[in-house]
Structure 1
Amino acid sequence: MRLFSTEQVSKYHPDKYADQISDAILGACLKGDQNSHVAIETLVKDDVIVLAGEITTAARVDYEGIARCVAEKLHYPVAKVLTFIRTQSPQIAAGVGSGKAQGAGDQGIMYGYACNQTRSLLPFGFDLANRIIERLENDVELNPYTYLKGDAKCQVTVDLDAPTDMRSVKKILVSVCHQENVNEARLRTYVNNLLDDLDIPASVERIINPAGAWTIGGPAADAGLTGRKIVCDQYGGFCPVGGGAFSGKDPSKVDRSGAYMARRIACQLLYKYGLEWCEVQIGYAIGKAEPMSVSVKCNRHEDEDFYTEKVLKTYDLTPAGIIKELKLLDKDYEKIAEGCHYRFREGAV
């Protein structure tokens, strides 16, 4: 038995709160000017929001107003928004350029992964963690009598040697912020009832709020920062992820667009060749349009060179090509930032 744990957090988590603000600002910039260059970070703590970064755009954007709008959606109070935003460095802008010759907005390595364990093409344990968090979020948003406040984490432990279905699940850990008038026993019953229709076997150990009462959550309990949940945004620890975060970055930043493309390629190789799993790595240099390297790993190790050559011959991996292929100038980035960036439909962001 090889036990492996994976995690997801809710969109009310302070780090995801920060992600959503950054991506809401990105979305507003791209809506007004698709040539916008955006690298915006958000810090949230208590009722203060700090915005910092570089934005070059012709769009008229109310940064503070957007931040307050996201906070209102998540029911977090805001007393002050501090803004430290400048234009993009002219040296970076000159190196990156635009149009078909657009170079990568930064150097870095990106990973894409897909497996045949679930409809989402995500690993079973991580897919289950995503679905559990979705149940908690839906209860907060749709049930006027909910016990929950929203901020939550879920950890799923699976046996990697077991079949990739519910039989592999050994433990489920849920920590969720709740109303003050709810005791621990009532909360555990309540959360367990929310999970019941997921067909989780009775043999699975369920652990609800092991630290006891949790009534103070969100930015009042912990500071939140853009980009601190890159594993939750991607594959839950089942495979490598690049060092770059996604949220607050326009598609010229290949640590976002390159990762999205690597995921698309992994999904398509999985389908086309009937693979069990597939991992794609792409490396870029700042200012260079073509990638430095491309490599494919999969369950058919003897064919990896063949698949790598197919990728190089089939796909346009320049930033401009990726943006066009994935329609990255027209995405609802704020919505994407709420959870795993690959959760919406098979093989796509």
Structure 2
Amino acid sequence: MARDNHLFTSESVSEGHPDKVSDQISDAIVDLFLAKDPEARIGCETLTTTQLVVLAGEIRGKGIMDESGNWAPGVREEVEKTVRDTVKRIGYEQDGFHWETLRFENNLHPQSAHIAQGVDASDDKDEGAGDQGMMFGFACDETPDLMPATLHYSHRILHRMAADRHSGAAPFLEPDAKSQVTLRFENGKPVAATAIVVSTQHATGYDAGAKQDELHAYVKKVVADLLPAELLSDETVYHINPTGSFEIGGPDGDAGLTGRKIIVDTYGGAAPHGGGAFSGKDPTKVDRSAAYITRYLAKNIVAAKLATKCTIQLSYAIGVAEPLSLYVDTHGTGVVGDDKIEAAIQRIEKLGRMTPRGIRTHLGLNKPIYARTAAYGHFGRDPEGDFFPWERIDLVDDLKAALAA
């Protein structure tokens, strides 16, 4: 049985963390190519290290690259500009990593024909999944956006710090940062923040004396602004830059790779993860699209008050359109049986069969909407226009009607 009384911790990392720099570059490339061809196939991996960005992976799309690996006119140059613009937007203008002077390698090449033949649709066969695997979605009622509270607050702390850095309100901050929030739960609800950890890259001289005190006071003020007052007390322990100096950071301090922060991207450890990363992948890859539809389903189930906590799993085989399994677990909080919710999901006509194309069509995923997802989590975000459609709560009435049928 789940424990009602416990401590739980989640972490987040900022947009300037080296792995997140890589994620943002990869997703900026996804957006660049989807804007040219909504049916483009993209698997873009990024390595970042001291004064170097390397792209590798497989692509295919009209107006991008042909089967022989020849770039369409001007596209190679657009790729490099996209990379440099992304690094500039994050704010890296340091000797060890600078958007203008870093070295850049582009090793993208055509997608394997063997993968393509299993994924592409034909007249007599629906489009298959881009890979095998299982994907999980989760929602709970701990926060208004139906996310785990520990991750919600970890993201918000770093998002505020980045906004203050960009605006000039906190000029002593540099882009790289990490946060961690530990909450005590009683009767399944968060009641106290027992520990807050924030490590942030800073300007020269902010590792000692009065300037260190200024940085510490700033971080505590951010925490006080963002966490509910009832969660904070004199017993809350703060660890702010616990190792002292943090001047060398970002890709200059540690190499970054796409897809290494999958728990930060999802639910902060509060729910299972199938193992597949999201960034750098077009939505035919079910690592991405099926993780989005399962979050969408779980969020709508909790929003419909059918449960206070819900985990959903889908699984796929490469080249096969139909999901192999659908699993719902409301962790004992459901108002009806989990099997009944599973059946209700399968009766919702507009969801279709949850094939890769069906998911993309229902959520509108074949659009350049992914760069925004690559920092501060793919879930618990406000849907706006075409962005974050999996966060919409527009399936509540359908779920209730399907249960009543």
Q: TM-score, normalised by structure 1?
A: 0.95
Q: CA deviation at 1:145?
A: 4.9
One-letter amino acid matched to 2:380: R
SS in 2 for 1:58: coil
Pick the aligned partner of 1:29 from 28, 33, 38.
33
Does the aligned pair in 2 maintain the 1:174–1:209 contact within 8 Å? yes
Does the aligned pair in 2 maintain the 1:6–1:129 contact within 8 Å? yes
1:88 equivalent to 2:108? Answer: no
Tell me which moved more, 182-191 or 247-256: 182-191
Which residue number corresponds to residue 223 of structure 2? Answer: 195
Gaps of 5+ in 1: none
Which residue number corresponds to residue 82 of structure 2? Answer: 66
Does the aligned pair in 2 maintain the 1:124–1:164 contact within 8 Å? no
Gaps of 5+ in 2: 65-74, 93-97, 384-389, 393-405
Tell me which moved more, 78-87 or 219-228: 78-87
Q: CA deviation at 1:126?
A: 1.1
Paired with 1:259 and 1:162, the residues of 2 have a C-alpha distance of 29
One-letter amino acid matched to 2:80: E
RMSD: 1.8
Counterparts of 1:152-301 in structure 2, within 5 Å, are 152-161=177-186, 164-165=189-190, 167-182=191-206, 183=208, 184-198=212-226, 199-200=228-229, 201-202=232-233, 203-298=235-330, 299-300=332-333
Paired with 1:275 and 1:255, the residues of 2 have a C-alpha distance of 25
Which residue number corresponds to residue 391 of structure 2? Answer: 348
Which residue number corresponds to residue 164 of structure 2? Answer: 139
**Higher-Rg member (1/2):** 2
SS in 1 for 2:217: helix
Which residue number corresponds to residue 340 of structure 2? Answer: 306
With a CA cutoff of 8 Å and minimum separation of 6, indicate the structure with the bigger relative contact order.
1
Does the aligned pair in 1 maintain the 2:278–2:288 contact within 8 Å? yes
Residues 310-345 of structure 1: CA deviation (Å, up to 9, x unaligned): 122223211111001111112421111122001322
- Structure-2 change in CA distance of 1:155 and 1:145 (3 Å): closer
- Structure-2 change in CA distance of 1:163 and 1:107 (3 Å): closer
One-letter amino acid matched to 2:56: A
Paired with 1:37 and 1:293, the residues of 2 have a C-alpha distance of 25
One-letter amino acid matched to 1:5: T
Residues 125-155 of structure 1: CA deviation (Å, up to 9, x unaligned): 1111111111111111112552110211110
Tell me which moved more, 68-77 or 194-203: 194-203
Q: Across the two proteins, how many residue pairs are aligned to each other?
A: 348
Q: CA deviation at 1:124?
A: 1.1
Q: CA deviation at 1:10?
A: 0.6
Paired with 2:326 and 2:152, the residues of 1 have a C-alpha distance of 27
Does the aligned pair in 2 maintain the 1:158–1:169 contact within 8 Å? yes
SS in 2 for 1:160: strand
Q: TM-score, normalised by structure 2?
A: 0.82
- Percent identical pairs in the alignment equals 38
One-letter amino acid matched to 1:310: A
